Chain A
Amino acid sequence: MRLIKSIGEWLDERLQIGEVIKETVEHSVPRETASWFYVFGSAAFVVFMLQIVTGIMLAFIYVPSAGEAWNSLQTLNHQVALGWFIRALHGWGSDFMVAIVLIHMVQVFLFGAYKYPRELTWIVGVFLLIVTLGMAFTGQVLRFDQDAYWGLGIGASIASRVPVIGPFIVNLMLGGPIIAGATLSRFFALHVFVVPGLLIAFVSVHLLMVIKLGINEWPMPGRVVRKATYLKEYHELTKKDGIPFVPGAVWKDLFFGGFILLSIAACALYFGPFGPSGPPDPTIIQTAPRPDFFFLWLYAVLSFLPPSMETPALLIGPVVGILALLLLPFVFGEGEKSWRRRPVAVLTILFVAVVLGTFTRLAEHTPWSPVMDAWSGIPIPSQFLHHRTALERQGALVFQVKQCHNCHSLDNQGGKRGPTLDAVAVRLTPDQLIRQVIQGGGNMPAYGKNLSPAETTALVAFLETLHPAGQSPARDAARAIALGSDTAAPASGHP
């Protein structure tokens, strides 16, 4: 023990760092901030450390070459002892890091921490969010599989829409004319050197400001931030009623950080590593690429935007969003901090959470994508075929062979791209069905050139049978009159 002490003293005599560390760890913080709400920033830092360590370990094996990257991941998964576990830690660590950074952001927003004098801390925090998402995206590319390959294609297609310089950005992003070796090399450099460098720099500034300016005090309703008086009030709060950060508050950070690490390890152990999915061979086109979890909402947005709004929304939306975050502390630099007195702030968070959650959920089901093998792989449920005429069954065959099932579901099976057809006969008259099939419209291709008259007749005869029992198909009331018949009364069901 005495030896350790004397070694420590010898080192500090030369490093001259002990006093600084002592001051930093024992600095006084407001009593209420020793709270479980204040642990997310340090937890994000802990996960970042885990990412650095596991990332370096992966780099021992990983080959950043378009021809070999996928194979080296297979080696990591199956040949290297516990290589799969390190990959899983890094992958789950990435998801946890994004999640914790987002939670941390919500917490400091609701606690008004971005107000005077911590505006710059917030702004650097916004950059940290962007850089963290940058790490997640570039990391997904390094898992050089089918999803990564086509994900790059999506990235390039978005970038190419920038007016005038779009094509140059694409070339710069891909490092050449196509997605290939040069692309992977530059994303490797970004993921391993450039973006982590920025991350370390921003984290350092962010932490320095937290220590120098002091942690945001627990917001009390009615305790209003004014630039003229805030610093004095905060000083009183910390000096008169404060506790030292160590050990007063730090034990909660330690426990929560440890708990998060344990959770990551548990997920890694239970769920295993992410992919890789199929090899990055563009000639294998039987694939439906999907982004990683934290970009799923974007995937959904891209399928719902009307075509004319897509490019403006893609190019202007992120700029507006980031600007709003950056300007927040300048517009609302003073005033109430407590979320109890800021209903708009609470509603904003709820709104954004519901929107992102809904889009993410939708993207897990991709109702906008055709089910590419429904026509050959999903049979028509038998209740739609019982007691049908030969013509109607022929129509059911047309329905399958012409891939209608890829976009339209029957009994909840098949594509959700178009409306479900369980009761289509109630909605559309036979004439309207024929028109819709032949001419398309309303986001449906026209099948006029691909269906013979006999096929159309059969298909519409089948569609005519799709109505609930006891509910008669739609009919054109004027038709009977036009044809000079007086059998206009409904055949069955409703009076």
Chain B
Amino acid sequence: MTLPNGLTRRALLMKLGILFNGFIALVLAVPIVRYLLSPISREKKGAYDAWVALGNLEQFPSGQTRLATYRNPVVNPWDGDTGDIPCWVRNVDGQNFQVFAINCAHLGCPVRWFPQSSLFMCPCHGGAYYQDGSRASGPPERGLFEYHYKIDGGKLLIKASEMPTPGQTSNIVREIRQCV
């Protein structure tokens, strides 16, 4: 059987078959893409907004900068040690604190604190920061990332669930403080 425009019945059925499979592929693509994008589309609530305790205030003597670690509030049971995140806590004057991310603002390497020269130094590309986290020298374009903190029941708590990167600073104090 041939239709007026020269299309045979079988050719038409084949085209319909291709169309049908294309439609099915489209229907299946929706959940697949949704699945693949789950790290982006997941709602950042609950644990993402949690305050994480870094320890008692006595652990952070006035005028000093100490390393603290916390268990990331968003973890899977199989994350192992990677769920333990370090950060630098600076007790400015007994009242005010600064909590810096461990990650250099250049490319995320772990910065180290040198109390003698009051500098944070990065082992990767040589970024250096002053004690208040502001940029001192090297390739970083900005100061260290700083977490929001609060003091509750004699404990120091911070809001930190995401690794800070130069483009991703949702949980981070945005202002860069001047030298205190």
Give residues in A with beta carbon < 8 Å to B.
65-68, 149-150, 153-154, 156-162, 166-168, 170-172, 174-183, 279-283, 285-289, 299, 302-303, 305, 307-308, 310, 368-370, 372, 375, 401-404, 406-407, 417, 440, 443-447, 449-450
- When distances are taken between beta carbons in the complex, the residues of chain B under 8 Å from A65 are 78, 80
Please determine whether B103 and A66 come into contact, CB atoms closer than 8 angstroms. Answer: no
Contacts A65-B78, A305-B139 given; indicate if A157 touches B125 (C-beta within 8 A).
no
Q: 10 closest Cβ contacts across the A-B interface? A: A67-B80, A160-B167, A153-B108, A445-B136, A166-B167, A160-B165, A281-B81, A288-B123, A303-B125, A177-B162
Please determine whether B163 and A153 come into contact, CB atoms closer than 8 angstroms. Answer: yes
Please determine whether B72 and A170 come into contact, CB atoms closer than 8 angstroms. Answer: no
> Within B7-45, which residues are at the interface with A (CB < 8 Å)?
37, 39-40, 44
A178-B162, A281-B82, A372-B121 known; 9 new pairs, CB 8 Å cut-off, are A65-B78, A161-B166, A168-B40, A172-B37, A175-B39, A177-B72, A177-B162, A279-B81, A370-B128
- When distances are taken between beta carbons in the complex, the residues of chain A under 8 Å from B80 are 65-68, 181, 280
Cβ-defined partner of A157 (8 Å) among B85, B108, B121: B108
Most buried by B among A182, A370, A417, A446: A370
- When distances are taken between beta carbons in the complex, the residues of chain B under 8 Å from A375 are 114, 116
Please determine whether B85 and A178 come into contact, CB atoms closer than 8 angstroms. Answer: yes
Contacts A182-B76, A450-B117 given; indicate if A283 touches B168 (C-beta within 8 A).
no
Q: How far is the CB of A459 from chain B (nearest CB, A)?
A: 12
Please determine whether A67 and B118 come into contact, CB atoms closer than 8 angstroms. Answer: no
> In the bound complex, how far is the Cα of B172 from the Cα of A492, in angstroms?
58
Cβ-defined partner of B79 (8 Å) among A66, A157, A166, A307: A66
Please determine whether B139 and A310 come into contact, CB atoms closer than 8 angstroms. Answer: yes
B3 in contact (CB, < 8 A): no
Q: How far is the CB of A458 from chain B (nearest CB, A)?
A: 15
Contacts A157-B107, A445-B128 given; indicate if A403 touches B82 (C-beta within 8 A).
no
Please determine whether A67 and B139 come into contact, CB atoms closer than 8 angstroms. Answer: no
> Within B91-114, which residues are at the interface with A (CB < 8 Å)?
102-103, 106-112, 114
> Within B34-81, which residues are at the interface with A (CB < 8 Å)?
37, 39-40, 44, 48, 67, 69, 72, 74-76, 78-81
Give residues in B with beta carbon < 8 Å to A.
37, 39-40, 44, 48, 67, 69, 72, 74-76, 78-86, 102-103, 106-112, 114, 116-119, 121, 123-126, 128, 130, 136-141, 161-163, 165-168, 170, 179
Please determine whether B116 and A402 come into contact, CB atoms closer than 8 angstroms. Answer: yes
> In the bound complex, how far is the Cα of B179 from the Cα of A308, in angstroms?
22
Contacts A283-B84, A368-B125 given; indicate if A67 touches B79 (C-beta within 8 A).
yes
> In the bound complex, how far is the Cα of B18 from the Cα of A244, in angstroms?
43
Contacts A156-B163, A157-B106, A167-B167 given; indicate if A178 touches B125 (C-beta within 8 A).
no
Please determine whether A170 and B81 come into contact, CB atoms closer than 8 angstroms. Answer: no
Give me 24 A-to-B residue pairs in the complex whose CB atoms sit less than 8 angstroms apart, sorted by A's number. A67-B80, A150-B108, A150-B124, A156-B108, A159-B167, A168-B40, A177-B74, A177-B161, A178-B163, A182-B39, A280-B80, A281-B84, A282-B110, A285-B111, A289-B124, A305-B139, A307-B140, A375-B114, A403-B116, A403-B119, A403-B121, A404-B117, A406-B114, A450-B119
Contacts A67-B81, A181-B79, A181-B80 given; indicate if A158 touches B107 (C-beta within 8 A).
yes
Please determine whether B78 and A181 come into contact, CB atoms closer than 8 angstroms. Answer: yes
Please determine whether B124 and A369 come into contact, CB atoms closer than 8 angstroms. Answer: yes
- When distances are taken between beta carbons in the complex, the residues of chain B under 8 Å from A402 are 116-117
> In the bound complex, how far is the Cα of B166 from the Cα of A183, in angstroms?
19
Please determine whether A370 and B121 come into contact, CB atoms closer than 8 angstroms. Answer: yes
| Residue of B with least CB distance to A281 | B81
Please determine whether B126 and A370 come into contact, CB atoms closer than 8 angstroms. Answer: yes
Please determine whether B81 and A282 come into contact, CB atoms closer than 8 angstroms. Answer: yes
Please determine whether B82 and A178 come into contact, CB atoms closer than 8 angstroms. Answer: yes
> In the bound complex, how far is the Cα of B140 from the Cα of A308, in angstroms?
10
Q: How far is the CB of B139 from chain A (nearest CB, A)?
A: 5
> In the bound complex, how far is the Cα of B170 from the Cα of A372, in angstroms?
31
- When distances are taken between beta carbons in the complex, the residues of chain A under 8 Å from B139 are 302-303, 305, 307, 310
| Residue of B with least CB distance to A288 | B123
Cβ-defined partner of A288 (8 Å) among B106, B124, B165: B124
Q: How far is the CB of B109 from chain A (nearest CB, A)?
A: 6
> In the bound complex, how far is the Cα of B37 from the Cα of A358, in angstroms?
40
- When distances are taken between beta carbons in the complex, the residues of chain B under 8 Å from A372 are 112, 121, 123
> In the bound complex, how far is the Cα of B39 from the Cα of A182, in angstroms?
9
| Residue of B with least CB distance to A69 | B80
Contacts A157-B165, A310-B139 given; indicate if A180 touches B72 (C-beta within 8 A).
yes
- When distances are taken between beta carbons in the complex, the residues of chain A under 8 Å from B86 are 282-283, 285
Most buried by B among A175, A178, A310, A449: A178
Please determine whether B168 and A167 come into contact, CB atoms closer than 8 angstroms. Answer: yes
Q: How far is the CB of B64 from chain A (nearest CB, A)?
A: 14
- When distances are taken between beta carbons in the complex, the residues of chain B under 8 Å from A444 are 137
Q: How far is the CB of B83 from chain A (nearest CB, A)?
A: 6
Q: How far is the CB of B163 from chain A (nearest CB, A)?
A: 5
Most buried by A among B69, B162, B163: B163
| Residue of A with least CB distance to B48 | A177
Cβ-defined partner of A282 (8 Å) among B39, B82, B161, B170: B82
Please determine whether A178 and B74 come into contact, CB atoms closer than 8 angstroms. Answer: yes
> In the bound complex, how far is the Cα of B99 from the Cα of A315, in angstroms?
31
| Residue of A with least CB distance to B138 | A443
> In the bound complex, how far is the Cα of B78 from the Cα of A155, in angstroms?
22
> In the bound complex, how far is the Cα of B123 from the Cα of A208, in angstroms?
48
Contacts A369-B125, A449-B118 given; indicate if A285 touches B39 (C-beta within 8 A).
no
- When distances are taken between beta carbons in the complex, the residues of chain A under 8 Å from B48 are 177
> In the bound complex, how far is the Cα of B4 from the Cα of A57, in angstroms?
61
- When distances are taken between beta carbons in the complex, the residues of chain B under 8 Å from A443 are 137-138
- When distances are taken between beta carbons in the complex, the residues of chain B under 8 Å from A446 are 136
Cβ-defined partner of A447 (8 Å) among B39, B69, B81, B117: B117
- When distances are taken between beta carbons in the complex, the residues of chain A under 8 Å from B117 are 402-404, 445, 447, 450
